[in-house]
Structure 1
Amino acid sequence: MCKNVVLIPLKSSVDPAMQKSCKPAMLGRMWQASSRAFSLDHWPSHRFGCCQWQKRQQPSKYYILYRWIIFIAVLAINIASFACQRIPVKYHGLKVELNYFKWFIYLTNWGFMLIAVQAALALGVVYYYKNDRNLNLTYDEDDVPVPMSRRKRTPILCRVYWLTQNVATDLAFVISLVYWALVYDPEIHEINAINLLVHGGNSAIMLCELAVTAHPIRMAHAMYGAGAGLAYGLFSAFYWAVGGTDRLGQAAIYPTLDWNKPAAAFGFVALCAVVLVMAHGVATCLAVVRLRLAKRLYAKRAQSDRLTLPTH
């Protein structure tokens, strides 16, 4: 029975040629998503010049005042840190002459100079958008379906500022942590105003920046802070190789970064890179919390405005 029936295999519902063409398309979308995450483009870019807690598209006068205060304060701390150098009072080793230019070999001072640079760039961004009369954007990047191809590139000034702010934030958190946990020696170091400002005030300033600024923090940008940490590690190795010493004549800039013990020095640099990534994760979480609080606040204000009866 049914001897003459021929079974014909069913074809796949998806053409093999189509399957092959889907793979490059999927890889292309993955590449675009990853490249966008690592890039320094953000739309709308006027967010770089605004405070998170304002409604206007252009920088408010209070935010401009804030930017001037931060810039002047950070610049003054940098100048005071450089000008007020001295051999620690508690130091009783061999007599050494103070070399002011060795101020530039310390990661602490690299980090605080970077805070000053990002403050200056932020001030420039504020005035860039303050003078822009063509702003007509009142929505966030994720709230409107504008194709990526139609979005304008973020200005180079904003991209440089964003990069600098990311690295300055990561370095500030790690410098404060590493200094008080591993570097601070009560028998040598003094606890004075400048020491507290450059090893604690740095993190306080960047926390304030995270709370006030309107632009986001992307987790993928952690690579920039980690790269800065590795760059300082390479600098310290080169400085040691050419015979450089710290301000007290020691071969290592920091006791925990002694290249006479390369294994320990490499381990410390790698540890710092990992901690920098973790610090960036903390900054990203704080930025997300700030954004959600602001959206909730604006939603409550909008609801109260709708329920308010007219007075005329």
Structure 2
Amino acid sequence: MDEENSAMQKKACKPATLARMWQASRRALHLDHAPAHHFACCQWQSSLAPCTSYLVYRWLLFITVVSTGIASFVCQRLPPRYEGPKVELNYFKWFIYFTNWGFLMIALQAGLALAVVHRYRSQKTFINPCEDDDALMPRRSRTPLLCRAYWLAQNVATDLAFVITLIYWTLVHDPKIHDINALNLLVHGGNSLAMICEILVTAHPIRAAHALYGVGAGIAYGLFSAVYWACGGTDRFGMPAIYPALDWNKPGSAFGFVALCAVVLLLAHAFATCLALLRARVAARFRPARAQADRLTLPTH
């Protein structure tokens, strides 16, 4: 009898355990964080309100990223040492490249971050959720949609930037064709430097589970490249593959390349998460007052 009761209890525990695991996974993936004004602040400031220097930084980054993106689009040309068949340059093929998808994400997150700062600059008071003495268990308000959109864009832009820089300089760059000039360095190296700077400056956390968003963006590009190839699309030189490593005429190697990129995206997000944790620890040591204020907030998930 005891054995039957024990077996029944074990069966009952399994659904409950799976339900708890599912709820924990959903909490890890959501984009809620309290207090929300962390998205508008610099990690190294002492006040709760967005400081003027951080606003200036956000404007400078936004203008720089947008200017670089426009220059990359406008200054398209065939490489000086290109010896292939003569082709007519199609400017709109700028949008088919993974590098430019990543740069558009950086511009999007820079614009959303700027909008978040302006939103909270107009707010008069900043009260941590746990500072309400009238409630034993204060109810956390949902993170505003603008902040969640910025956080999602920032996660994806960071992961893509790291992977684009790594893959371009190891697999794509051909010294016989590609020039090493200021614009090339900004697009394929400055992107990662910009996102490292973002991680070191911003005050909001980076969650390990959010790596799935970057992986999803990478897989989405892989699907786009397959559909583009199936529709007869070509790269700017008229070749059927956007990238030699992503040639869907060889589906095995193309699938392998997409899988490799997914793994590298996971590693890139792990690096970003560790860097954000290091930033928070260093800031807590040098800004103990700010760290104490942060400890009074509700859990992030």
In the TM superposition, 1:53-202 aligns within 5 A as 53-137=44-128, 150-202=139-191
Q: Structure 2 unaligned runs (5+)?
A: 292-301
Q: Rate the CA distance shift 1:227–1:42 in 2: closer, same or farther, 3 A.
A: same
Cα distance in 1, alignment partners of residues 206 and 115 from structure 2: 20
**Against the structure 1 CA distance between its residues 44 and 22, is the aligned structure 2 distance closer, same or farther, given a 3 Å change threshold?**
farther
Cα offset, 1:133, TM superposition: 2.0
CA positional deviation for 1:30: 3.3
Q: Which residue does the alignment assign to 1:238?
A: 227
Mapped partners of 1:110, 1:174: distance in 2: 12
TM-score w.r.t. the length of structure 2 is 0.89
Residues 227-266 of structure 1 mapped to structure 2, 5 A cutoff: 227-266=216-255
Structure 2 distance, partners of 1:21, 1:83, is 63
Cα distance between partner residues in 1 of 2:37 and 2:6: 46
**Per the alignment, in what secondary structure is the counterpart of residue 150 of structure 1?**
coil
279, 284, 289: which is aligned to 2:273? Answer: 284
Q: Is the 8 A contact 2:129 2:140 kept in 1?
A: no
Cα deviation for residue 123 of structure 1 reads 0.3
Distance 1:268 1:297, change over 3 A: same
Structure 1 residue runs without a partner (length 5+): 1-8, 303-312
- Check conservation: 2:46, 2:290, Cα contact below 8 A: no
2:79 & 2:130 partners in 1: Cα distance?
54
- Partners of 2:142 and 2:214 lie apart in 1 by 23
CA pair 146-39 structure 1, distance change in 2 beyond 3 A: farther
In structure 1, distance between residues paired with 2:251 and 2:65: 35
Please state how far the C-alpha of 1:24 moved relative to its aligned partner.
5.7
Equivalent in the alignment of 1:305: none
TM-score normalized by structure 1?
Answer: 0.86
Check the 8 A contact 1:71/1:116 in 2, yes or no: yes
Q: Distance in 2 between matches of 1:146 and 1:291?
A: 28
Aligned length: 287
Task: Choose which of 208, 212, 217 in structure 2 pairs with 1:219.
Answer: 208
Which fold has the larger relative contact order, with Cα–Cα distance below 8 Å and residues 6 or more apart in sequence?
2
Amino acid aligned to 1:299: P
The answer as to whether partners of 1:57 and 1:137 remain within 8 angstroms in 2 is no
Identity %: 63
One-letter amino acid of the counterpart of residue 77, structure 1: T
Specify the code of the residue in structure 1 equivalent to 2:76.
Q
Q: Distance in 1 between matches of 2:103 and 2:12?
A: 51
User: 2:278 & 2:66 partners in 1: Cα distance?
Assistant: 29
Aligned counterpart, 1:31: 22
**Alignment-mate amino acid for residue 256 of structure 2:** G
Compared CA separation, residues 19 and 181, structure 1 to 2 (3 A): closer
**Map of 1:6 onto structure 2:** none
2:130 and 2:101 map into 1 onto residues whose CA distance is 37
CA contact (8 A) 1:64 1:126 kept: yes
What per-residue deviation string (whole Å, max 9, x for no partner) do you get for residues 166-195 of structure 1? 000000000000000000001111111111
1:159 Cα deviation after fit: 0.5
| Cα distance in 1 between the residues matched to 2:55 and 2:84 | 48
Counterpart residue number, 1:4? none
- Alignment RMSD, CA only? 2.5
Counterpart residue identity of residue 188, structure 1: I
- Contact 2:46-2:289 at 8 Å conserved across structures: no
Q: Is contact 1:57–1:138 with CA below 8 Å preserved after alignment?
A: no
